[in-house]
Amino acid sequence: PRFAGVSVDPLRIVGKELKFLTKNIQQLLGSGHPMLDTVAKYYTHSEGKYVRPLLVLLMSRATALTPKAARPLSIPTASTIDDPISPPEVLSDVNPSSPSIDPLSAPSFESAYNSDSSDILPAQRRLAEITELIHTASLLHDDVIDDSIARRSSPSANVSFGNKMAVLAGDFLLGRASVALARLRDAEVIELLATVIANLVEGEFMQLKNTALDETNPTWTEDTLSYYLQKTYLKSASLISKSCRAAALLGHNSPDVVEAAYSYGRNLGLAFQLVDDMLDYTTTSESLGKPAGADLELGLATAPLLFAWKDNQQLGVLVGRKFAGDGDVQMARDLVARSDGLEQTRALAQDYADKAAYAISRFPDSESKEGLLEMCVKTMKRRK
């Protein structure tokens, strides 16, 4: 897209803010234990795509120009968002003792950003960093669960440091993300991001143990795709949607703008993961920087295979035994290749990307709105 005659590059629009992101994240992750310090910061040294921070920053700027409304007195809770497998919020086990002062942590977010007059608020920038911390924590844990050997073209943390340290480093990131989140002093935003962490685990559990599948008699039903999409929302779109929502909340936006930000994030997040699941079939490990074709090896039936299965009941047997039989993975790959599963996955992803763009169509025209729209285009074009 073009704005005022200039083509829009989302990275450039918030380039100044992104420049400080890695440094600030490294500050948030400082530990007095040298080994923990190293493992916790390990993925911050590789070039990530910074999709989530980028979206938070663009959303913050794009909503800054919308008409503002007072924050309602009765605050809607995170559970009003479709989140069917979460129980009603029971904030159990909140440690009653006062939190310990942490001398190693970063300065408060106001003082970290006080010299800047940008329309993006200090709290919104900190939120961008928090989303990357939570995402990175999930990658540390994910690579252990998936027994993955590579991430961003380097050995994964579990390979470099072992499973124990990778898991603990992920927990440490979540702890520091929680401290930074608490310092935003916004209960609704804290609730949203805490729900994201729970959702990541729920999504991973749905993937680990498919309760919509009868393993003794695997058949394609209408539940097959909706289960997959719910899992996809929880493991990928929840972080993107709720952090877009949180960015709008921190900017004191009206409820309809907050809702639009959430809808944008939800739809883009679903498109993003559908493309991810497609790339696992269509791209090489070399260009992905992580193992390709990993999903079938892990026993996972993602969208391309589910669409192929719908038209070819033969695949049910392989799904039921998680592609563990001799030659199963290769046979599944061939059957997907001969089906229209990849095209259908792409079409579904495109639907979601279009819905994301539509969700923000009533935002006032701005460079950052064009940036958000360009993110929809880039999501569909990405190769890694």
3-state secondary structure of 2: strand
Closest distance of CB 156 from ligand FPP, Å:
9
* 249 DSSP β-pair partners: none
Strand 6-7 versus strand 150-151 pairing type: unpaired
**Centroid of chain to Cα 254:** 24
202 binds Mg ion (CB under 5 A): no
Single residue of 129, 132, 142, 367 touching Mg ion by CB under 5 A: 142
Distance from C-alpha of 205 to C-alpha of 197, rounded to nearest angstrom: 13
CA distance 149 to 151: 7
Is 168 a binding residue for ligand FPP by CB under 6 A? The answer is no
Contact 151, 139 (CB under 8 A): yes
CB contact at 8 A, 9 and 128: no
Please report how close the Cβ of residue 381 comes to ligand FPP at its closest, in angstroms.
Answer: 18
Q: With contacts defined by CB under 6 A, how many residues of the chain interact with ligand FPP?
A: 16
**Choices 142-150, 313-321, 337-345, 354-362; region in contact with Mg ion by CB under 5 A:** 142-150
* Nearest CB to ligand FPP, comparing residues 17 and 204: 204
Residues 6+ apart with CB under 8 A from 272: 51, 236, 237, 240, 379
Pair 369, 357: CB distance under 8 Å: no
Q: Which stretch binds ligand FPP (CB under 6 A): 52-60, 194-202, 245-253, 373-381?
A: 194-202
Q: Can residue 142 be called a binding residue for ligand FPP (CB under 6 A)?
A: yes
Interaction of residue 138 with ligand FPP, rule CB under 6 A = yes
Region of 36-44, 57-65, 137-145, 348-356 interacting with ligand FPP (CB under 6 A): 137-145
User: Among the candidate windows 32-40, 95-103, 135-143, 326-334, which touches ligand FPP by CB under 6 A?
Assistant: 135-143
Q: Under DSSP, is residue 155 helix (H, G, I), strand (E, B) or coil?
A: strand
Cα–Cα distance, 92 to 198 (Å, whole number): 13
Q: Does 234 bind ligand FPP (CB under 6 A)?
A: no
Output 204 or 370, the one with its CB closest to ligand FPP. Answer: 204
Contact call for residue 230 and ligand FPP (CB under 6 A): no
Q: Which of these, 145, 140, 106, lies nearest to 126 by C-alpha position?
A: 106
236 closest CA partner among 161, 164, 134, 140: 134
Choose which of 11, 36, 85, 145 interacts with ligand FPP (CB under 6 A).
145
Give yes or no for residue 174 binding ligand FPP (CB under 6 A). yes
Tell which one of 170, 265, 304, 320 touches ligand FPP (CB under 6 A): 170
- Phi-psi category of 285—alpha, beta or left, where left has phi over 0 and alpha has psi -120 to 50? alpha
Provide, for the chain, the percentages of residues in helix, strand and coil under a 3-state DSSP scheme, each rounded to the nearest 5. Answer: 65, 5, 35
Determine which residue in the list 146, 191, 280, 367 makes contact with Mg ion, applying CB under 5 A. Answer: 146
Shortest Cβ 289–Mg ion spacing (Å): 12
257 part of the interface to ligand FPP, by CB under 6 A: no
Contact of 187 with 154, CB cutoff 8 Å: no
191 binds, among Mg ion, ligand FPP, none (CB under 5 to 8 A by kind): none
Q: Interface with ligand FPP by CB under 6 A: which residues?
A: 137-138, 141-142, 145-146, 148, 170, 174, 197, 200-201, 204, 235-236, 290
